[in-house]
Structure 1
Amino acid sequence: MNEFELEIKKLVIKTLNLEDITPEEIDSEERLFVDGLGLDSIDALELGVAIQKTYGIKINAKNEDLKDHFASVRSLAQFITSERKEMDA
């Protein structure tokens, strides 16, 4: 398992108080919202705030690709990595 994806899984569990699931039980490609893990829009807001605080990136709610970025743990990892590279450039 990718270390960064594992870190994000732990962040999701901690942020959303998902006590009945372990990071290993979350597939990196599994959908986070509705189907799959079953998160909702309030979870998305909480997770977005946690990601911004943890990784120091800005998330623009008007970004048309935001839904795709939050689709799975893997897409979140790619988004965060990309945003951090842009900040360092």
Structure 2
Amino acid sequence: MEKLHHDLKALIIEVLNLEEVTPENIDTQAPLFGDGLGLDSIDALELGLAIKNQYGIVLSSESEETKKAFYSVKTLADFISSQQ
């Protein structure tokens, strides 16, 4: 699971062009949106598309499960693991 956490952090940095951020700077448990990493809805769409392409997982923006999965790197990794 640690590898998946690191891979997701690297994906977030790459897809969202977070040049000043390293995977070590992203707290696995911290929120991705709002007070945490500070992502917004456009970032969520870009990240969702990247996750779909990387892991072959279809995400629904209306699904409550998807919304909960995007809370943190940990919840996203748990969701990806459960879908594979």
Under a length normalisation based on structure 2, what TM-score does the superposition of the two structures give?
A: 0.95
Match of 1:45 in 2: 45
Give, in whole Å, the separation in 2 of the partners of 1:22 and 1:60: 28
The question of 1:28 aligning with 2:21 is answered: no
Give, in whole Å, the separation in 2 of the partners of 1:54 and 1:2: 17
Alignment partner of 2:59: what SS?
coil
Give, in whole Å, the separation in 2 of the partners of 1:67 and 1:57: 14
The within-5 A match list for 1:2-13 is 2-13=2-13
Amino acid at match of 1:10: A
Unmatched tracts of structure 2, length 5 or more: none
Give, in whole Å, the separation in 2 of the partners of 1:2 and 1:64: 25
Match of 1:80 in 2: 80
Give, in whole Å, the separation in 2 of the partners of 1:62 and 1:83: 17
Deviations along 1:56-83, one digit per CA (max 9) or x if unpaired, are 1111222112221000000000001111
Match of 1:58 in 2: 58
Give, in whole Å, the separation in 2 of the partners of 1:10 and 1:49: 15
Amino acid at match of 1:43: D
Alignment partner of 1:65: what SS?
helix
Number of equivalences: 84
- Larger Rg, first or second structure (1 or 2): 1
